[in-house]
Amino acid sequence: MSEYESVQALHHSLPPFQPLISVELLPYIALILLASTFVLAFYSSTIPKTTIPGKEVPLAVIASVLGGFGVVALFCTVGVYV
């Protein structure tokens, strides 16, 4: 039982978790990321289609990454910490 007590004492002595990005900034980050996802998706749907998707694939990858981080920021904004 002394190992448990030493781990418990270590746990109580550690400082609380501080996120790198302030929680107050999360709604604005989510808005910017999700708005840029919408803009990129709209732009990629309006460019002329070619047989070789040279422009569409990078735009889709960027929009997907921005949308993913935007959804995570939005979840954290409403209290669902993922």
Residue 70, Cβ neighbours under 10 Å: how many?
Answer: 20
pLDDT digits (tens), the chain, 82 positions: 689 999 999 999 999 888 888 889 999 999 999 999 999 989 888 877 776 777 788 888 999 999 999 999 999 999 888 8
At 1 the pLDDT is: 61
The pTM assigned to this predicted structure is 0.76
At 54 the pLDDT is: 78
Alpha helices in 1-82 (DSSP H): 2-13, 26-46, 56-77
Residue 30, Cβ neighbours under 10 Å: how many?
Answer: 20
At 21 the pLDDT is: 87
